[in-house]
Amino acid sequence: MSGPSRATRARLDILEEAAMRALECASALGLDHAEVSASEGESLEVNVRQGAADLVKESRSRGIGMRIVHDGRVATSATTDLGVEAVQAFVAGLADMVRFSEEDPLALPPSPREQTGAWDDLDLYDPKTARIGPKRAISMATRAEKAAFKQDRRITSSEGAGFSRTIGFSVLATSGGFVGRNFGSNQYLVAHVVADDEGGKKRNGHYWSGGRHFDLVGSPEAVGREAAARACRAIGSRKMATGVYPVVFDKEAAGTILGLLGSCIMGDRIYREQSYLAARLQDAVASPLVTVIDDPRIPRGPGTRPYDAEGRRTRKNKIVTKGVLDGFLLDTYSARKLEMKPTGSAAGGGGVPHPTSSNFYMKAGRQKPASLLKGIDKGLYVTNMMGFGFDAMTGNFSRGAGGFLIESGELTTPVGEITISRNLDEILKGIEAVANDLEFRTSVAAPSFRVDQMTISGN
């Protein structure tokens, strides 16, 4: 890890100057409190289809978002004009807006003593990212698509291979004295190809690789080959008989299930009683094999942040420990509503603060992924899910799925066009084995796990 370069410091200086100018305007108008998020970003996106580039898009953005609190009332707005006179007019307009807002005494900001003055370098920025131009990006995407076609003759079409990269710089400043400077990068390479199946059916396969640093992007050839392999593994997919079966979720599908839990432990959903977990603190909500953590301090993590959107120092939060619900993710407002303490989980700086997860993950088990199949005479191995069939208030879950039939402890026939369903509370409590294959590729991550039973609707 290394500190920011001279060029990065200069960009952050410009943003900080704009943020402080807005705060000075708010002070001159006698406003009680203000917080400003000034940000700048640039991105590149390319897409290649059938060997030809069909998208090359570069963009830049810069602006500020501002929230003011006055006489217990709140107003928020944003602007992309950072000129001196423009900022003055912007803040004056926001001051007029706040007078027409409804009073909300719980919307007051945290006190300055709750905000941090120091944080660690978490290695979120790679200078190599900014040096990747359209020519190199197109070359990488082209190589990925070409490798997919070369991998298997049954790959007959492509829905595109693409490369994208973003870099961003931000400054959060408040009238309470907090000034935070942050910067980061991301890049991703993806291939999405199609294989022919019997009866004119098409089987899709896609794969991506990337992360905060360029060295987390796999070789284009490896990305293309894996996309092709996934499409070809789905050839011959059929429905399975309707019934109740044990189900194994591979790590990608397991992350999707964990994300449903994540949506149910946000403080705003809890105080509104829009989650089936609202009254379940310290209850058993999952198998004793399940421990879930939200950790915004993992170096290079996809959801890592050194401070939250209200200026609090971030921290590791235990959500579920050996099946027991330990806590929720809270910003200042939801913590006050619930008469609890904030967890350093606020997002929306310079706008409407709200709680959010960071690197939200289930701890890995000790078993190898293949061992999850042992002892299953007939079951389902889920690799992908479709649709949005989840009710956070009841926990009821039902989604389309695809994967493979498990027979006598082995993966056999590819399966598709089925629906899996069960209440999320029962799914989590029914986890009876957890693998050791956790990867932090996404901000919500889980190892593969086995559930004792789910209802499958097929033939």
- Tell me the per-residue pLDDT of 366-404, one tens digit each, with 9 for 90 and over: 999 999 999 999 999 999 999 889 999 999 999 999 999
Confidence band of 265 (pLDDT split at 50, 70, 90): very high
Backbone angles phi, psi at 139, to 5 degrees: -60, -45
- Tell me the DSSP string of 327-371: --B--HHHHHHHT----S-EE-TTS--EE--SSEEEPP-SB-GGG
pLDDT of res. 387 = 87
Using the predicted structure, report yes or no on whether residue 3 has a pLDDT greater than 80: no
Q: What's the pLDDT score for residue 190?
A: 98
pLDDT, tens only, 329-376: 999 999 999 999 999 999 999 999 999 999 999 999 999 999 999 999
Look up the pTM and report it.
0.96
* Mean of pLDDT values over 434-459: 97
Please give the mean pLDDT across all residues of the chain.
Answer: 96
Backbone angles phi, psi at 230, to 5 degrees: -65, -40
Residue 414 scores a pLDDT above 90: yes
**pLDDT given at position 4:** 84
Q: Which domains are seen in the chain, by residue range?
A: 6-230 (3.30.2290.10), 231-257+364-457 (no CATH)
Distance CA 359, CA 379 (A): 31
> Bridge-partner residues for 423, per DSSP?
396
